[in-house]
Amino acid sequence: MLLIHVRNALHLRPGSILLGGDSAGANLVLALLSHILHPHPDSTIPRIALQEGDALKGALLISPWVDFSHTAPSFARNKGKDCIDVRTLDRWARNYLGGAPADPYNQPLTAPRGWWSELGAWVTDVLVVAGSDEIMVDDVVRLVEVLRRDWSGGRGAVEAVVVEGEAHDVVLIDRAVGYGPEELGMDREVRRWLKERL
């Protein structure tokens, strides 16, 4: 696991490590944070040994994929505005799970109340960015509400920015098709947050 390598081989302190991911990558960041808070019951998954006071510097979640269902109103409201659709998400979810059962590690919004209650003890700051035109934006907003409700044990905060008129993961997708970073609100927010911490 990369975090274990970064700590053991590169000898980086947790306070100098920022985790980040977009879409399914942000899901993986949340899975890792879940594993730190609640070690996965599968004993073949390496444990993350952080000591009290060893909070990670931050977690950056760009358009996080947090629930594999399609029940949020934004799925209907933003249909046709976003670059992804439910058929694609269904196919990706099957591949992502690879036959494993759905659980709070792979679907953060299904976690029981209080699951994230010690997150602030293990990560200093969290930034969640999304676009208002994403089909999954309501799920992202719900995640932020849950993280903020449960946040305790730390000195940082959960910051959230929903950028008006942007779709899923424009930081990656729109940049790949030629948009410049200054044209994208999500990109500007990510760079602002990173500059404040580096």
CATH hierarchy code of domain 2-197:
3.40.50.1820
- State the sign of the Cα–Cα–Cα–Cα dihedral 49, 125, 149, 25: negative
d(CA 181, CA 186): 9
Q: Is 7 helix (H, G, I), strand (E, B) or coil?
A: helix
Q: How confident is the model at residue 19 (pLDDT cuts 50, 70, 90)?
A: very high
Q: Which of 119, 122, 117 is nearest to 14 (CA)?
A: 122
d(CA 160, CA 132): 12
Question: Contact 153/120 with Cβ under 8 angstroms?
Answer: yes
d(CA 75, CA 70): 6
pLDDT in tens, 39-92: 999 988 888 877 777 888 999 999 999 999 999 999 999 999 999 999 999 999
Predicted confidence at residue 131, as pLDDT, reads: 97
pLDDT in tens, 164-191: 999 999 988 888 888 887 888 999 999 9
